Amino acid sequence: MSTVLSGRDAYRAELAELARHDPRLLCFEADLGGRKHPFAQEHPDRFFNLGIAEATMIDMAAALASAGYRPFVSTFAPFATLRAAESMKLSMGYMGAGVVVVAPYSGVSGAWFGTTHHCLEDLAVVQSFPGITIAAPHGEAETRAVIRAAAAGSGPVYVRTGRSAAAVSLPLDGEPPLVNWASSGSSDVCLVSVGEVGTELALEACARRPDLGHAHLCFVDHASLTAVASELRRSRYSRFVVVEEHRPAGGVASTLALLVPEVAVVGVNAGMTWPSEGGDHGEVLSGLGLDLAHVLAAV
Amino acid sequence: MTRVGTSVEVLREQAVRARRLVVDMAAQPTGCHLGGSLSVVDILVAAFDRAAEDDGTEVVLSKGHAAAALYAALHVSGRLAENPAPLYGLAGHHYTGHPSPAVPGVRFPTGSLGHGVPYAVGWALARRLSGGTGLGIAVTGDGELQEGLVWEACQVAAAQRLANLVVVVDRNGGQNDGLVADISPLPDLGARFAAFGFDVSEVDGHDIGAVRALLDGVGSRPHAVIAHTVKGKGVPPVEGKAGAHYVTIDAARAAKWKRMIR
C-alpha cells in the first residue's frame, strides 16, 4: 500500500531524488530537519544542519547560489519569513539570489505547539519582496512538482507547506498550471483555493455545493497573481471566494481584489486574532473562523 | 599559480590614492561616512590585493557604511574602472551610501550590519565544496560586533570548520553615536573569538604589509584578525574623533585635507 507524503516529507524525498543527478543541489536545515532526513542519508556531503541560525543559513545560501550552487534551505515558516525576513529581503529579493526556502508549519498547522510556531503572515511578508516566486502547493504530487521546477530554475523561490497533514493533489500533468480549474459548477460563484487547507476546504465545499466553481492556485506571488487575474477575468464567474490559511491583510484575496476590481472578491481566512489555544490543526482553524461552515456561509 | 605579490610600497601608494578619493566623496553634496572609511582603507587595499591572486577569494565589506572606502579601494586596485568619487551619492549612479551588487566588484548588499559575515561564511563553504582554493574575507567594524548575526555566523563557521574564512575587525573604537567603549564595550575581544573556535591575530590595521601577510595562508580553523585602527586615519583634523563618523565638507577643505594625506 502506498502512503501519501505530507508536504514537508514530499519536499525532502523529492530533493534527495533530484540530487542524484544534479550536483548543484545542496540542502540546509536549521535544526528542524529531523534525525532521518532522506537528503542527509543519501547525500551527506551536501547536507548541512547549521544549527539554530536561520538568518545565517539564508545569507550563506545566497553566497553559495552566487558561486553556482542551487541551495534549498528549510525551517519553519515563522522563522524563515520573520526571524530571517531581512535576509530574505536582501539576499533573495534585492540580490535575486537563487535560494529556495521551503517552509513547513505555515498557517496554524503547528496547532497545539502554539503562538510562536504559527505563521499567518508569510504571504504578506514575502509577496512584498520583489522577484520571489511563492508556491503554496497542495498534496504530495503538487509539492514534488514545485520542488522539481524550483530545482530546475535559477531564481529565488519560497515554498509554504503545512506540518504533517498529507493530501492527494488535484490531477496534475507536469508543472502546476497558473490556474487549475478543478470544477466548473453551474453558478457564477467560484472558490479560489490556496494551499493545503484552502484546497481541502474548497473540495469539501464543492462536494456539498456542486454548483460552485473551483479554481486552485499554486503560485501566489504578485507576478503570478497578476497573470492569474487575467485568467479569472476571462472566466464566466462574477464572484470569487478565496480560501486561504492566512490573515486577510496581505493575503491572496486582498491582492486579487486589487487586481480584479470589476468583480467581487471576498476572502475566507484566519482573521486577525492571535491563535493561543491548543487542539489539533482543524480545531485551531475553527477557532479562527476558517472551516467548512464559514466557507459555505461566504458563497 | 601564485601571482607575484604587489610590493608593500605599491599598496601604500594605493591606500594614499584611496584616502584622497574618500575625502573627495566627503565633499560630495551628501557627504560620507568619513571616519570609518579612512580607518578601513588599508585593510581593504590589502584584502583586494589578496583577492587579486585570482584563486576565488571574495572580499565582503560587512561594515557597508564604509562604502566610500570600498568604492575607492575597488578603483585603486583596478577592479572598478571609473572614478567613483565624482558620482558618489548622485542620482543615476549606483555609488550609494551603502553598497549593492549594482556596483562592479560588489557581490553582496551590505550596510544592514552583520550580514557580511554569513555571506563570507557561505562563500568559504562554496570554495571548500568545489574543491577550490581561496578565502571568504569579511571586513567588519567593531561596533558591528554588537549585532547577534555576526556571532551566529561565527558559531556556524567554527562548527563547519571553515579554515578558509577570515573575519577582519576594523577596531577603530567608534560607532554612530559615540565610542564603542561607552556604548557597548568589547573587552577581551580576541578571547571572544578564540572561545568561538577561531585562530586570532592582532595587528596594526594601518601596517598594510602586516595585514596583507595575515591574509596569505589557510590555517586549520577560521581566522579572526583584529586590526587596530584609527578613525579618520590619514587626515589629522579628524583622526581619532568620534564626530568624524559622518562628515560633509566643501571643496576647499577637501583640497586641504587631501594634501595632508601621505
DSSP symbol at A107: B
Task: Give dist(CA B90, CA B252) in Å, integer.
Answer: 20
- pLDDT value, residue B242: 77
| pLDDT-based confidence at residue B3 (cuts at 50, 70, 90) | low
Residues of B in contact with A50 (CB under 8 A): 156, 159-160
B108 and A87 within 8 Å at the Cβ level: the answer is no
The ranges of chain A with pLDDT < 70 are 1-2
Q: Which three cell numbers stand for residue B8?
A: 608593500
B118 and A46 within 8 Å at the Cβ level: the answer is no
Task: Give dist(CA B206, CA B24) in Å, integer.
Answer: 21
- pLDDT value, residue A1: 47
Of A26, A60, A68, the CB nearest to B118: A60
CA angle A135, A12, A110 (to 5 degrees): 65
Of B115, B126, B129, the CB nearest to A59: B115
SS3 A82: helix
Q: A44: closest CA among A75, A19, A64? A: A19
pLDDT tens digits, A18-37: 999 999 999 999 999 999 99
Q: A67: closest CA among B125, B223, B52, B165? A: B125
Report the gap between the CA of A50 and the closest CA in chain B (Å): 6
CB atoms within 10 A of CB B88: 26
Report the gap between the CA of B129 and the closest CA in chain A (Å): 8
pLDDT at B1 over 80: no
Q: Are A56 and B156 in contact (CB under 8 A)?
A: yes
Q: Which residue of B has its CA nearest to A48?
A: B160
Which residue's C-alpha cell is 591606500? Answer: B15
Q: A244: closest CA among A189, A206, A195? A: A195
Of B123, B156, B159, the CB nearest to A67: B123
- pLDDT value, residue B218: 83
pLDDT at B2 over 60: no
pLDDT at B17 over 50: yes
* More confident call, B122 vs B132: B122
Q: Are A72 and A30 in contact (CB under 8 A)?
A: no
- pLDDT value, residue B243: 84
pLDDT at B126 over 80: yes
Q: Are A232 and A240 in contact (CB under 8 A)?
A: yes
pLDDT at B4 over 80: no
> Which stretches of chain A sit within 8 Å of chain B by CB?
26, 46, 48, 50-51, 53, 55-57, 59-64, 66-69, 86-87, 90-91, 94-95
> Which stretches of chain B sit within 8 Å of chain A by CB?
58, 100-101, 107-109, 112, 115, 118-123, 125-127, 129-130, 136, 149, 152-153, 155-156, 159-160
Decide the pairing of beta strands B165-171 and B223-228. Answer: parallel
Residues of B in contact with A59 (CB under 8 A): 115, 118-119, 121-122, 149, 153
Of B108, B118, B136, the CB nearest to A95: B108
Beta-carbon contacts of residue B251 (< 8 Å; ≥ 6 apart): B27
- pLDDT value, residue B217: 79
- Single pTM value for the model: 0.96
Of A57, A69, A94, the CB nearest to B126: A69
Question: B1-5, B148-152, B167-171, B215-219: which range is least confident on average?
Answer: B1-5
Q: Are A131 and A155 in contact (CB under 8 A)?
A: yes
B122 and A53 within 8 Å at the Cβ level: the answer is no
DSSP symbol at B249: -
Which residue's C-alpha cell is 476590481? Answer: A261
Inter-chain contacts counted by CB atoms under 8 A, chains A and B: 85
**Mean pLDDT within B17-44:** 98
* CA torsion through residues A91, A92, A97, A99, sign: positive
Provide the greatest CA pair distance for chain A: 55
Which residue's C-alpha cell is 478543478? Answer: A182
pLDDT tens digits, A239-256: 999 999 999 999 999 999
How many alpha carbons lie under 13 Å from residue A33 in its C-beta half-sphere? Answer: 25
pLDDT tens digits, B97-108: 999 999 999 999
A22, A52, A59: best to mutate for the B interface, most B CBs within 10 A: A59
Decide the pairing of beta strands A180-183 and A213-217. Answer: antiparallel
Task: Give dist(CA A41, CA A61) in Å, integer.
Answer: 21
Burial (Cβ within 10 Å: 0-12, 13-18, ≥19) of residue A76: buried
Task: Give dist(CA A60, CA B122) in Å, integer.
Answer: 4
Q: Which residue of A has its CA nearest to B59?
A: A63
Decide the pairing of beta strands B174-175 and B178-179. Answer: antiparallel
B120 and A64 within 8 Å at the Cβ level: the answer is no
The CATH number, out of the four listed (3.40.50.300, 3.80.30.10, 3.40.50.970, 3.50.50.60), of the domain defined by the range B8-260: 3.40.50.970
Rounded to 10 degrees, the C-alpha dihedral B82/B87/B93/B97 comes to: 110
Give me the residue spans of the domains in chain B.
8-260
Q: B72: closest CA among B88, B51, B56? A: B88
Residues of B in contact with A69 (CB under 8 A): 126, 129
B121 and A56 within 8 Å at the Cβ level: the answer is yes
